[in-house]
Structure 1
Amino acid sequence: MTTTNVKFLNKDKSTFFPVLRTRIEQYFQENEISKSGGSPMVGKAIFMLSLYLVPYGLILTNLFPAWAMLVMAGVMGIGIAGVGMSVMHDANHGSFSTSSWVNNLFSGSLYLLGGNVYNWKVQHNTLHHTYTNIDQLDSDITGKPFLRLCDQQRLQKMHRYQHWYAFILYGLMTFSFLVKDFRQVGEFNRKAKSKLTKPFATYEIGILVLSKLLYVFFVGVLPFLLTDITFGQWALGFLLMNFVAGFVLSVIFQLAHIIEEVHSPVRNDQGNIENAWAIHQLESTANFSVHPVLSWCVGGLNYQIEHHLFPSISHVHYPAIAPIVRATSKEFGLPYYQKKSLIDALGSHVTMLKKLGRQAGQSVANQRVTRTRQPVGSSQ
């Protein structure tokens, strides 16, 4: 199917999003607060970056036994996940600060994790946020050779066991940064011909190459120059660090889009989505465990509905605007999917992996259509 000029068709002439947007604007105006993160974000950024960089610095002192360095590598993995969810994510959406240079500064923290800012903005801000859960357009569910994450993808025998091995693959997420960014240069340039993305500029490719070389020196060369660790010890630490980071990041993102209630919509014969964009976001996204401690730790990514509708608003405001979004969704007879706990969301994700691994796309899709006919606005 062509991916040229994909449009969202508001065939029902819904006024949901204009009304919701007005109410959200009124909230910020009446409370005289900025939509950015402000000082709470700076404090969180310092904490998360320290969780990554302080153990790294301690390792380089060469004052600790190998087992302690391995523990520090695991802590670094938690720090990587924290920086990814709570620092660079807001910054790359422009919601970290009202200052563009501050956003640019903290968005650059992605380079410390082995990623690339321009690639992230194309993959995440443009493709994932615009074409959420749409096969061949949303990079978060497309191009996973061992996983079947939506109804439209071809069912293979190995997918029957994906609910077992998926979580191992999730741990490889940050490993893929080293090669995936280069592969996606070609992919995104091809999509640029269909006007879905912009092509990589030459200087962006230069930044990509240079940043990867610096990351390799930072994480792979400097430890050998300043410590007496063996290659095996380094490899084990690098594996642990990235597995912890990749596992946490992947699971948090997957719980918002690959659970039982959410949709993976199919484009019509013209390649368009027969739904308004904002309603599409409600149908393809879910919240989970809106506990304040978890929200702080994961950068508000458990409020994915609010994030997808208002990505330019910092996650520190999601708990306050969520009741507005939920009430407006109910008023318009639209779904608002939410799992009560992290365990509930994990269980639903595993169930969805099982169904996608064992059933043809049409049967899973039909089950979803049936589920969406229950009273709207209820907590699933």
Structure 2
Amino acid sequence: MKKLRFRKTSTTFYAELKAEAEVLLTEPVLQRARRRMKIKCCFYALLFIGLYLNVYNPAVSSRSWLLILNYTALGLSGILLAFNCAHDCVHNTFSSRKGTNKLLFYLVFNAQGVNASLWRKRHIASHHIFPNVDGCDADIDDNPFIRLSASQPLRKAKRYQHWYATLLYSLYTLHWILVKDFIYLRKKQLANLGEQRYSAAFIAELILLKAVYFFYMIVLPVWMGGIPFATVLTAFLVMHICISLFFVLTLIISHLSMETVFPVADEQGLLPYDYYEHQLAVSLDYHPCNPLANWIFGGFNSHTAHHLFPHLPHTVYNYLSPSIKKLSAVHGLPYHELSIPKAIASHYRYLKHLSRP
């Protein structure tokens, strides 16, 4: 694969944006933002622990429908903990101590059954460098089920992908835990990352951590809580269907829609934008300045700000998004913003668009 390069900037967009950010993000603002992020982390962590302990509450465990609701809320709280804490940790924006960031990220991700180290590598070293660039963004790697880029081959079954995508999306988290991580273990060539090798100790740790996840989510409630296995398994599966749809449909829309761009390099490996213009072109925001959306989605709703300022905590993105929107218009650069229902609809139109030759 030829080495990709971004074009040299032809605008002062990012220089002006950075200057505005320095004015907006005074030290008191940053201190409040960091404090708010830690409060959110404690809130979602306590919610997750409380809902897990509630599984053993006889008033809940004795009623199947209540147990299913509790498991679903438990799964969602875990996803929101990852959104609002672990994601910042992987970018070292949660704490000034890298060790704290690494530990929290490791605990939160592996507690969801997915391998933290494998995801960090794909996210930091692939996706954030070349988002929406086919062959260099591990998040849109060619897969046998859904075509996510026009550069990927159109197989016959994928002509109906906009019809069956929701079913596949509902299985996403279980597929990630049981299949996807193991696929990445076997992949030698991963997007732009080149040759990948994993030690026997790493593979053993990955398997052990997944066993711990299934133990505390399924075995322990049956063994210690006396809950019928079929009931626990049903609740566990319903939980994964719900959190899969929530997870996919709030993340995938931030890059894969009719509005966003999928840049292709020329024969010399030169991409059509500079680095910062590229981040604008490939990202989509939904309710980027809404405090409630920021509280829930952990800044994924203001995704343009995240890709332009990944070194800042997500609790400042609502300060930056108006400046991004204003300056992109001044410089004639793309900025994409929709409501979340319209963003989801746009994603499905994009799937339909890619289902055709």
Q: Does 1:160 align with 2:159?
A: yes
Would the alpha carbon gap of residues 35 and 156 (structure 1) be closer, same or farther in structure 2, given more than 3 Å must change?
farther
8 Å CA contact retained: 1:62, 1:226: no
Q: Does 1:186 align with 2:186?
A: yes
Residue 45 of structure 1: which of 34, 41, 48 is its match? 41
Show the 5 A alignment for 1:1-380.
Answer: 2=1, 5-10=3-8, 13-28=10-25, 30-34=26-30, 37-63=33-59, 64-65=61-62, 66-107=64-105, 108-175=107-174, 176-187=176-187, 189-191=188-190, 200=198, 204-290=202-288, 291-339=290-338, 341-358=339-356, 360=357
CA RMSD of aligned residues (A): 2.4
How many positions carry a matched residue from both structures? 352
Q: Partner amino acid for 1:266? A: V
Give me the whole-angstrom Cα distance separating, in 1, the residues matched to 2:185 and 2:11. 37
Q: Partner amino acid for 1:99? A: R
Q: Partner amino acid for 2:49? A: L
Would the alpha carbon gap of residues 170 and 61 (structure 1) be closer, same or farther in structure 2, given more than 3 Å must change?
same
Give me the whole-angstrom Cα distance separating, in 1, the residues matched to 2:268 and 2:217. 47
User: What is the CA distance between 1:13 and its match in structure 2?
Assistant: 3.8
Give me the whole-angstrom Cα distance separating, in 1, the residues matched to 2:178 and 2:343. 30
User: What is the CA distance between 1:37 and its match in structure 2?
Assistant: 4.4
Would the alpha carbon gap of residues 270 and 199 (structure 1) be closer, same or farther in structure 2, given more than 3 Å must change?
farther
Instruction: Describe the SS at the equivalent of 1:102.
Output: helix
User: What is the CA distance between 1:136 and its match in structure 2?
Assistant: 2.2
8 Å CA contact retained: 2:253, 2:344: yes
8 Å CA contact retained: 1:9, 1:276: yes
Give me the whole-angstrom Cα distance separating, in 1, the residues matched to 2:112 and 2:150. 32
Give me the whole-angstrom Cα distance separating, in 1, the residues matched to 2:7 and 2:198. 29
Instruction: Describe the SS at the equivalent of 2:337.
Output: strand
Structure that is richer in helix per residue = 2
- TM-score for the superposition, normalised by structure 2: 0.89
Would the alpha carbon gap of residues 198 and 275 (structure 1) be closer, same or farther in structure 2, given more than 3 Å must change?
farther
- TM-score for the superposition, normalised by structure 1: 0.84
Give me the whole-angstrom Cα distance separating, in 1, the residues matched to 2:24 and 2:3. 34
User: Deviation per CA, 1:52-93, whole angstroms, max 9, x where unpaired?
Assistant: 332221213455322211111111122122122112111111
User: What is the CA distance between 1:182 and its match in structure 2?
Assistant: 2.6
Give me the whole-angstrom Cα distance separating, in 1, the residues matched to 2:231 and 2:143. 30
8 Å CA contact retained: 1:172, 1:246: yes
User: Deviation per CA, 1:270-294, whole angstroms, max 9, x where unpaired?
Assistant: 4442321111111111111233212
Instruction: Describe the SS at the equivalent of 2:139.
Output: coil
User: Deviation per CA, 1:119-163, whole angstroms, max 9, x where unpaired?
Assistant: 111111221111111112222222432111121112233323322
Instruction: Describe the SS at the equivalent of 1:38.
Output: helix
Instruction: Describe the SS at the equivalent of 2:51.
Output: helix
User: Deviation per CA, 1:5-39, whole angstroms, max 9, x where unpaired?
Assistant: 332232x54443333233323432x4544389422
Percentage of matched positions with identical amino acids: 29
Instruction: Describe the SS at the equivalent of 1:140.
Output: helix
8 Å CA contact retained: 1:36, 1:313: no
